[in-house]
Amino acid sequence: MSKRNATAKWNGTLKAGAGTMNFSDYSGPYTFASRFEEGKGTNPEELIGAAHAGCYSMFLAALIAEEGLTPESVETTATVHLDKDDVGPVISTIELDSQVKCEGLSEEKFNELAAAAKEKCPVSRLVAAADIRLNAKLV
């Protein structure tokens, strides 16, 4: 199987410092404000959301293809909730909102495959401690 690399460098204190995240063709800043407020830049939770949305979409497309169908599109948005518990910041919930276009796929089979993809995609398995909520629609 494959291995992927990403790097992050942080300079300074939590609130006054700043950092850069790098992977593939992406290099971008992150700060206290981009993570805990509404500042410019990215944050780990946003990147986890992108990874989860991408993983779920690909996994669902694979399951649909195993049924002998070809999905026109699988578009997923992941909303990652960063909350706080007695230990500190925690990702408590991830909402997956997905819309699928696929001719010939029944609503019943779609619901079965969408639920299976939520449980089995590698990123869902990684973040299983969070409450993963799925809202999937066949359009």
Give the tens place of pLDDT for each residue, 24-39: 989 999 999 999 988 8
Over its length of 139 residues, how does the chain's per-residue pLDDT go in tens digits?
Answer: 889 899 999 999 999 999 999 999 899 999 999 999 888 999 999 999 999 999 999 999 999 999 999 999 999 999 999 999 999 999 999 999 999 999 999 999 999 999 999 999 999 999 999 999 999 999 9
Residues 49/128, Cβ–Cβ less than 8 Å: no
The model's pTM is 0.93
**What is the b/e burial string over 99-129, where b = at least 16 CB atoms within 10 angstroms of the residue's CB?**
ebebeebeeebbeebbeebbeebebbeebee
Q: Return the structure tokens found at 54.
A: 């991408």
The per-residue pLDDT for 63 is 98
Domain 44-138 superfamily per CATH: K homology (KH) domain (3.30.300.20)
Q: Is 77 exposed, middle or buried (0-12, 13-18, 19+ CB in 10 A)?
A: middle
Could you tell me the residue ranges of all domains in the chain? Answer: 7-36, 44-138
